[in-house]
Amino acid sequence: MLKLTTALALAVMGGSMLAANTALAHHSFGAEFEETKGEIHGVVKSGRFANPHPRYQVEVTKADGSKEMWELQGASVTSMTGGGWPDNFLLPGDEITVKGSLGRAGAKKLFIEGITKADGATYPPQNLVRRNPNEVHATPGKNYGYAKVNPDAPFDISGPWRNGYKFRVTVDDLEPKPTPFTAEGKALFDKTVHHDDYSLRCVAPGLPRIFGAPYDMEIIDGGMMYEFVYIEHNTPRRIYMDGRAAPADYPDRPMGFSVGHWEGEELVIETTHLLGGWLDGSGLPFKGGPNTRMVERYTFAANRLSLDRTLTIYDDYYTQPLVRRRAAARDDFMTIVEHDSCDPTTYYSDLLEAGELETRLKALL
């Protein structure tokens, strides 16, 4: 039977165990799924547990006896494994009940927030410790860093940081509103295929999108530079702290060229030489190039256990700067692990099943 509800409980986990819905942003959750919750009961027909999203096809029998296929999507493999999902948890033939967020525009999709199998096994496991991701789970006075090398730094910022702290989905999160498009930016946005996110094809999102992602980050203090290592796509980023400028022939790149300095106890980073793309999963365009820059401010709490992050984007597609706000926190329960490799097979399988693969391939020729 198919049952839709609008008020299913949403369990969230903090620390290194992010719940499925807290690790959505970089692959267009807000563009593909609604806040409305639903529930389906059916039989798994096929599936693939791989990044960028594990996906499963489930056959649902309706009240009149007819059948229809639903697609389940999960968060990243890294997040789901950390939340207690074994890679063989769902197999063809398994009878399951699934709760989650419904697909937009009536799409027969469900974003996994909870599963119960016929044998009683659940995801997340019933004995899993759940922590509020908007609380700091760290010990005052504990040393979380590796070493302070930069002589200008007021304190040690190295070590792991949980970027899921105070998280919000990276779709429709930029201020001000309404979006202050230029005519060129609005025209480009209007003709964008808004759900055709290149990240679903395993292209790393780069900046400024990766700033908004909830995945953990590690900072290494190299004295002349900080290295930020985002576990999303195992992405490294250098922030030069020695006053250098970008070489004249430096090309535009997804992570750009970043220089930083300390203003008292606030870290300020300016990035230029950015490659164009999307600002979020809805397809807000980002021109990049010589007239584009972004400025980040990292404001640390007095106890150094959390920080607020503010990103300001200056881009020719907008008449005003755009602002994205996030945070980060130290965490006693977090372990930095390598992000699982990304496999675009599910994306192309979806196109094949929808009869769109040939059209998309021809458009590339």
Residue ranges per domain, the chain? 2-132, 159-329
pLDDT digits (tens, 9 = 90+) for 321-362: 999 999 999 999 988 888 888 888 877 777 777 788 888 778
- Which amino acid is residue 104, in one-letter code? R
Q: Is the per-residue pLDDT at 65 higher than 70?
A: yes
Q: Is the per-residue pLDDT at 43 higher than 50?
A: yes
Q: Is the per-residue pLDDT at 1 higher than 70?
A: no
- The average confidence (pLDDT) of the chain is 87
Higher pLDDT, 303 or 79: 303
Query: What's the average model confidence in pLDDT over 228-246?
Result: 95
Q: Is the per-residue pLDDT at 126 higher than 60?
A: yes
SS3 assignment, position 361: helix
pLDDT of residue 29: 67
Contact indicator for 41, 97 with CB cutoff of 8 Å: yes
What is the 3-state composition of the chain as percent helix, strand, coil, each rounded to the nearest 5?
15, 35, 50
Q: How far is CA 239 from CA 157, 222, 255, 257, 261, in A?
A: 13, 10, 10, 8, 9
The CATH code that applies to domain 2-132 is 2.40.50.140
Q: What is the CA radius of gyration of the chain?
A: 21
Q: Is the per-residue pLDDT at 16 higher than 80?
A: no
Q: Is the per-residue pLDDT at 6 higher than 60?
A: no
Per-residue confidence at 27, pLDDT binned at 50, 70, 90?
very low
Query: What's the average model confidence in pLDDT over 187-211?
Result: 86
pLDDT digits (tens, 9 = 90+) for 137-194: 999 999 999 999 999 999 999 999 999 999 888 888 999 999 999 999 999 999 987 6
Percent pLDDT > 90 in the chain is 65
The CATH code that applies to domain 159-329 is 2.40.128
Candidate from 26-30, 34-38, 165-169, 296-300 with smallest mean pLDDT: 26-30
Per-residue confidence at 299, pLDDT binned at 50, 70, 90?
very high
Structure tokens at 95: 């009878």
Candidate from 14-18, 52-56, 74-78, 320-324 with smallest mean pLDDT: 14-18
Higher pLDDT, 270 or 36: 270
Long-range contacts of 191-196 (CB under 8 A, 24+ apart): 192/283, 192/285, 193/283, 194/31, 194/282, 194/283, 195/28, 195/31, 195/32, 196/283
176: preceding bond cis by omega (within 30 degrees): yes
pLDDT of residue 30: 65
Q: What is the DSSP string of 125-160?
A: -TT-----TTS-B--TT----S----TT-SS---EE
Q: Is the per-residue pLDDT at 60 higher than 60?
A: yes
pLDDT digits (tens, 9 = 90+) for 273-294: 999 999 998 899 999 999 999 9
Contact indicator for 83, 115 with CB cutoff of 8 Å: no
Q: Is the per-residue pLDDT at 265 higher than 70?
A: yes
pTM attached to this predicted model: 0.82
Contact indicator for 31, 281 with CB cutoff of 8 Å: yes
pLDDT digits (tens, 9 = 90+) for 80-118: 888 889 888 999 999 999 999 998 888 899 999 999 999
Query: What's the average model confidence in pLDDT over 226-251?
Result: 95
Per-residue confidence at 198, pLDDT binned at 50, 70, 90?
confident
